[in-house]
Amino acid sequence: MKNKRERFIRLASYRTNEILKRLKILGNCANRSAYEYYEEDIEKIFSSIEKKVREIKAKFHYPKKIEEFKL
């Protein structure tokens, strides 16, 4: 069991840090002197990111075993 926990910590930490780096890079697109964008573009980007975050977060909270119906 400890091995699974260690693997989770290692992979989750690495993958989370990679996502945070990518978000920082995405933030570079906010430079109006280098890029032109509209408010609709920003809404599309962040609604898509937020939707995916909600989906992935639900995977962590969704019950793993569906209980069988019994009378």
Q: Which residue's structure tokens are 């980007």?
A: 45
- Comparing 58 with 70, the larger pLDDT belongs to 58
Asked if the structure places residue 19 within a domain, the reply is yes
Asked if the structure places residue 68 within a domain, the reply is no
The SS3 call for residue 12 is helix
Asked if the structure places residue 33 within a domain, the reply is yes
Amino acid identity of residue 27, one-letter, is: G
DSSP state of 28: G
pLDDT surpassing 70 at residue 12 = yes
How far apart CA 71 and CA 68 sit, in angstroms, is 10
pTM recorded for the entire structure: 0.77
- Segment 31-60 shows an average pLDDT of 96
Asked if the structure places residue 70 within a domain, the reply is no
Domain that holds residue 27: 2-61
H/E run at residue 34:
none
pLDDT for 66: 66
pLDDT for 33: 97
pLDDT surpassing 80 at residue 64 = no
Asked if the structure places residue 8 within a domain, the reply is yes
The number of domains in the chain is: 1
